[in-house]
Structure 1
Amino acid sequence: MIYREMTKEDYEAAYSLWKNTKGMGLSAADSREEISLFLERNRGLSQVCESLEGELAGTALCGHDGRRGFLYHVAVSGEHRGKGIGRRLVSNCLEALRAEGIAKCHLMVIGSNMDGQRFWSGIGWELRDGILLYSQVT
């Protein structure tokens, strides 16, 4: 497997993976333009994993606001799950955040996404309670 920085050229394969990942929430913010802007603002942080045949096996969008890191769309294709790809993508992202001086990272999991909840708690992430998420479309 090859781990590398995600580029805007990965968009089609990444979007296809996200669309076919149970529990993944997609919105207008996941358009080619929006993802390209995210990658540009957060150079070197987002990661992909490719098979030796060039197939996209996993993704992790990663960024920060100068204070806290954030992970989005950590996904591994069904045929490649259970091989440590998700762990490695997350580890690579956290290492890149640390290199930029970011010591804490957050992520969101849709409440009905039990696979996602098991993954994150299984790799040592803490479920926070007492925090409410508010959103507004601008």
Structure 2
Amino acid sequence: MIELRPAVISDVPALIGLWEVAAENDSRPADSQAKVEALIARDPDACTIAVTPEGRVVGSLISGWDGWRAHLYRLAVHPDIRRRGLARRLLAHAEDRLVALGASRVDAMVLEDNELGQSLWKSLGYEPQEDWRRWVRPVG
């Protein structure tokens, strides 16, 4: 059985490795071990990982809560084990966490060209919000 648990610092190299093979990485800032470690230090429950009995990290989802809004990032499942319900488990876990923190609505950022991601989020009951546009500016 695949276990869901919060990521810890020692998981970070495997987590970044998972994102390299399982996540859509276009248009994203480069991942760094230091930034992921900072996330874990700031909010130890924000990054949920899925781990096989052998200790292999095969899934992830970051559930961010700023006290006002709830955001989901980095839903990734290793290609070798897709279509087994792991993304649904990760999402249910994250939604439970965010609701317990006070969230009444959750959003997920998905790249327009990520067709696999688009179809997954749609199958999970999420809908695009056409009247919003994300504005981005790199800082630092």
TM-score norm. by structure 2 comes to 0.91
The residue aligned with 2:117 is 116
1:43-58 counterparts in 2 under 5 A? 43-58=44-59
Q: 1:32 to 1:22 in 2, by over 3 A?
A: closer
* C-alpha displacement of 1:47: 0.7
RMSD: 1.4
Q: Residues of 1 paired with 2:103 and 2:38: CA distance? A: 20
Is 1:83 the equivalent of 2:96? no
Cα deviation digits, residues 70-90 of structure 1 (max 9, x gap): 111110001110111111011
% of aligned pairs identical? Answer: 26
Question: Contact 2:39/2:46 (CA < 8 Å) preserved in 1?
Answer: no
Question: Contact 1:42/1:64 (CA < 8 Å) preserved in 2?
Answer: no
Please state whether the residue corresponding to 1:20 is helix, strand or coil: helix
Q: After the TM superposition, which parts of structure 1 deviate over 4 Å for at least 4 consecutive aligned residues?
A: none
Question: Contact 1:45/1:97 (CA < 8 Å) preserved in 2?
Answer: no
The residue aligned with 1:65 is 66
The residue aligned with 1:42 is 43
User: Match of 2:29, as an amino acid?
Assistant: S
Q: How many positions carry a matched residue from both structures?
A: 137
Structure 1 unmatched runs, 5+ = none
TM-score norm. by structure 1 comes to 0.92
Question: Contact 1:6/1:48 (CA < 8 Å) preserved in 2?
Answer: yes
Indicate the larger mover: 4-13 or 67-76: 4-13
Structure 2 unmatched runs, 5+ = none
* C-alpha displacement of 1:31: 1.1
The residue aligned with 2:134 is 133
Q: 1:65 to 1:126 in 2, by over 3 A?
A: same
Q: 1:128 to 1:61 in 2, by over 3 A?
A: same
